Amino acid sequence: MLYFCPIKVNEMNAAIDVAVPLPKICVLFPGALGDFICFLPALEILKQNADLDLFARPEFSGLVSLPVKVRSLDGFEVRQLFVPGAARDEGLCDFFGSYTAIYSWTGNQEKEFVNQLIQVSGGRARVYPFRATDRKFHQTDYYLACLNETYERPRSPVIAVSAEAVAWIENYWTEHTLDGQARLILAPGSGAREKNWPADFYLKVADWWRHQVQGAVVILLGPVEEERGGLDLLLDRFPVAQNLSLAQVAALLARSHLYLGNDSGITHLAAAVGVRTVALFGPSDLHQWAPRGDRVTLLRRNADCSPCTISVMKECPHRRCLTELYPRDVIEKVAGLPEIANLTRRGVGITV
């Protein structure tokens, strides 16, 4: 990518445009979807006036726009950095040496990787820990702090839905006879089963929405949930959206009236596209992982043992932080949201 800088030519008393290459930046980012959404404000800083190659999960390409180009983190060049002696590879030196700057949030604990990346980049690489050690440091703020960026007000990730995805979702609503209805998207899964609100609780919210709001419910199902199972109560009764690209998921969320989900990457995505988002938190730390956005509502039961560590979460015998966050309490909060109150029929109370 090129930008043009006007340069005065005294002899001709005129200006000509000379093509000057943009700085070329490499970013290595290993995180899953939720991590990546938190990383977006830092990515916005890095891509300013730069030609940026992002080595990450290929599916993230549907969530970013030029000048960011997404390449697989599993590609040959990155994998070679973990191989002893790779720093002597001239091809590798040429590849990474072509970048003006390199920022890596992968390999921090791998001395071989760090040393070789610094060597092949001519000392232009900066390597950071993937996550903040201070749990009261929100992950978005941590990535910005790595770039020495601080703000008086918290920065929120923002994702614009592509025109292609907008066209797709309009056809999707029509094909599934969901056009013109108040749409609730439920995402009952996450990367860890221990973070999930019970499926039968989701069912009660779905039934309330269908009967009291008289709207449509769509269950958003990812590969993890499909493989894990345990959601038949929902899948047997409501339309299921599955096998979607992240760009399509973003459009599905952005063109709905309400999203309800656990602490998950999809919940961060919902907040980033601007749909009214209700996030259910149990064992996770709100200070570090709460989705950010102007239309986000966070619900949790303040159990004395939460938040907790991953090891404690995996062995928890009661999961009170989620099992005692009752459907009626969630429904009352949802019904009180201004956008949702406008959808309900006047004079109709809340029933569970």
Radius of gyration of the chain (CA): 23
Whether 260 shows a pLDDT value over 60: the answer reads: yes
Predicted pLDDT of residue 351? 37
What is the predicted pLDDT for the residue at 102? Answer: 97
Among 63-67, 165-169, 261-265, the minimum mean pLDDT is found in 63-67
pLDDT at 261 over 50: yes
Separation CA 20–CA 115 (nearest Å): 32
CA atoms of 273 and 278, how far apart (whole Å) = 13
- Assign residue 316 a region: left if phi > 0, alpha if psi is -120 to 50, beta otherwise? beta
pLDDT for position 205: 97
- Confidence grade of residue 106 (pLDDT, cut at 50, 70, 90): very high
CA angle 55, 92, 19 (to 5 degrees): 70
- Cα atoms in the 13 Å half-sphere on the side-chain side of 208: 24
In this predicted structure, the answer to whether residue 59 has a pLDDT above a threshold of 90 is yes
pLDDT at 344: 63
Residue 352's pLDDT band, with cuts at 50, 70 and 90, is very low
- Return d(Cα 231, Cα 188) in angstroms, integer: 8
Q: What is the pTM of this model?
A: 0.90
Each residue's pLDDT tens digit, 114-142: 999 999 999 999 999 998 887 678 999 99
Comparing C-alpha atoms, which of 52, 66, 59 is closest to residue 36?
A: 59
Q: 279-312, pLDDT tens digit by residue?
A: 999 898 899 999 999 999 999 998 877 887 777 7
- pLDDT beyond 70 at 272: yes
pLDDT tens digit sequence for 192-242: 889 999 999 999 999 999 999 999 999 999 888 887 888 999 999 999 999
pLDDT bucket at 315, cuts 50 / 70 / 90: confident
Residue 159's closest CA among 26, 46, 65?
65
Predicted confidence at residue 10, as pLDDT, reads: 46
Does 144 have pLDDT greater than 90? yes
Residue 350 scores a pLDDT above 50: no
Burial profile 46-73: b = 16 or more Cβ within 10 angstroms, e = fewer:
bbeebbbbbbbbeebbbbbeeebebbeb
Mean pLDDT of the chain: 89
pLDDT at position 4, please? 33
Mean pLDDT of 17-33: 86
Q: What is the pLDDT of residue 17?
A: 56
User: In this structure, what are the phi and psi dihedrals at residue 232, rounded to the nearest 5 degrees?
Assistant: -60, -30
pLDDT at 112 over 80: yes
pLDDT tens sequence across 163-193: 999 999 999 999 999 998 999 999 999 988 8
